[in-house]
Amino acid sequence: MSAITARRVTRSRRLSASGARRLTRTGFVSAGERSVLTRTPRSVISSDAKPGRTSSSTSRRGHGHACMRSLRTCCRFVGTMDESTYPHGPLSGKTVALCVTGSIAAYKAVELARLVVKAGGKVLPVMTASATRFVGPLTLAGITGESVATDMWDPTVAGEVHVRLAERADLVAIVPATADVLARLAQGRADDLVTALALCARGPVLAAPAMHPRMWEHPATQRNVAELAAQHRVSLVGPVAGEVASGDVGLGRMAEPEAVYAAIVTALSKRDLAGLRIVVTAGPTLEDIDPVRFLGNRSTGKMGFAIAERAAARGADVTLVAGPVTLPTPHGVRRTDVRGAVSMRQVLWQAMGLDLSRADALVMAAAVADHRPAEPSASKIKKSDERITIDLVKNPDLLAEVGAARAGKRPVLVGFAVETEGGEGLVAYAKRKLTQKKVDLVVANEASESFGREDNRATLVAASDVRPLPTMTKLSLADMVLDRVRELLQTK
Ligand code: CTP
């Protein structure tokens, strides 16, 4: 059983300009193209013939080499951007005071600290005396690189410990928060470092409750929760329903670290995309040959998911149309999974509306397969001859269809161009796609610098300018793309 990748297909042949073709292991011959979208606006149908893709394999370069090259490229093109002028993660420059209280769920705070650090944030760990019975302060100190504050009366700290911490922290996260700490927060008490810090905080305070379901349901706890809601000062993340430490099941389990992390990012992100509806596609499309084989490509979906994640954190209403990938749905994102290009097309038009009025922007990060088997076999194809021939028909170009159908200035359209060529060749391909597909922005990158990686090096190509960017995390690049989308929306 084998998955034949589109890469292998394209490597074997250059495509003729005659529309759909037949692929054999040794060559292409012409075949008719088929249209599959039943409710497509007339102007949408396009059969643009594309030049062949050259696909010499490129080796992955070392990270240091890529950074140096990106710096050089940037200086050459724009002269102003260097490695210090772009954010390294969604929490870059942000400081989170992570207050751990005494619950078995304290171990989840360690994972949360790791996530915040990975996102570029600084963590100031604070622990109550009882929290130190569950998690060793050394663990938190090791992960955060900061000493753990446990004592209001630490004589080695100049000034008041809780005030010093409050001045440094952009956000205070109490994770996990016990029933006792919720009660003390509701009363405004300041009888330990955690509650004193929460009372003194300059920015948002988040708490992730964790307790036995009977404690959560207790009228006293519910009264405290209602009091905190009325004060608008402490936001709760969770609890969620599930199994708690005792083995009982109910509402009281602490939210997972990823959910608390997402709430932190959202609370600290600018909400500059609020009110905008953004549709994002991500991942590959898989085109079935038979029930067990398919044509696919190497896209992992990470870039599209990063865009959806950051757009949602910045306040946009986000619809994500995802090809088959194994990534979790970003917080606050509406997601529909699809398999092939034809089903992606259908879901995309549903999300955008046939008159495109349901979206302010489309970011087409999916690696849509250019071709699909003309007639997938209903049963597994048996190994018979030395050579087999698979008829391929051209898939619709989803982005070009939307570009052709757009009558007004909205939605803003963003395409991706993943090429095996860099430099001016890459920009030239991107410019061609910009015009041919009638889009506003093309994010151009080399396959070796993007597929499957956590980081990416891209050039943003618009009609008005070309902006090469240094290597950065996909989340940072997502922010750059969204900044550009926002600019384009403002000029439209
Ligand atoms: N795209 C699309 N539908 C397709 C193929 C591509 O919507 N059938 C979109 C991709 O999501 C991407 C952009 O078009 O945003 C460019 O995709 P890419 O594969 O780089 O270019 P192609 O148009 O397929 O051209 P080529 O493969 O010849 O480079």
Domain end call among 231, 249, 268: 268
* Site residues for ligand 1, CB cut-off 6 Å: 50, 53, 341, 364, 366, 368, 370, 395, 397-399, 415-418, 433
Res 87: pLDDT: 56
Collect all residues with Cβ–Cβ distance below 8 Å to 196 and sequence separation of at least 6.
Answer: 152, 162, 190
- 417 CA to centre of ligand 1 in angstroms: 7
pLDDT of 248 > 80? The answer is yes
Q: Is residue 332 part of a domain?
A: yes
Q: Give tens-digit pLDDT for 414-433.
A: 999 988 887 888 999 999 99
* Residue 475 or 209, more confident: 209
Q: Are strands 287-290 and 240-243 parallel, antiparallel or unpaired?
A: unpaired
Residue ending a domain, choose from 268, 283, 313 = 268
Per-residue pLDDT of 426-455, as tens digits, reads 999 999 999 999 999 999 998 777 777 778
Tell me which of 268, 302, 328 is where a domain ends: 268
Identify whether the C-beta of residue 332 lies closer than 8 Å to the C-beta of residue 262: yes
232 and 323, same domain (yes or no)? no
Range of the domain at 258: 95-268
Q: Are 349 and 310 in contact (CB under 8 A)?
A: no
- Total count of domains within the chain: 2
- Closest to 98 measured CA to CA, from 141, 157, 134, 160: 141
Report if residue 45 sits inside a domain.
no
Write down the catalytic residue from 224, 297, 445, 456: 297
* Catalytic residue status for 395: no
- Residues 100 and 235 occupy one common structural domain: yes
User: Residue 43 domain-assigned?
Assistant: no
CB 345 within 8 A of CB 372: no
**Digit-coded pLDDT (tens) for 53-79:** 333 333 333 333 333 333 333 333 333
> Is 380 a domain residue?
no
Express as a percent the part of the chain with pLDDT over 90.
Answer: 72
Tokens (6 digits) for 255: 């939210």
Q: Is the dihedral of CA 290, 296, 300, 301 positive or negative?
A: negative
Q: How many CA atoms lie less than 13 Å away from 362 in the CB half-sphere?
A: 32
* C-alpha neighbours within 13 Å on the C-beta side of residue 74: 19
pLDDT at 11 over 80: no
Rounded CA gap, 167 and 155, in Å? 19
Query: Domain holding 407: CATH number?
Result: 3.40.50.10300
Q: Return the exposure string of 286-315: e unless at least 16 CB atoms fall within 10 Å of the residue's CB, then b.
A: bbebbeebbbbbebbbbbbbbbbbbbbbbb
> In this structure, what CATH number is given to the domain that contains residue 187?
3.40.50.1950
- pLDDT at position 409 is 85
- pLDDT value at position 72? 34
Tell me: pLDDT of 24 over 80: no
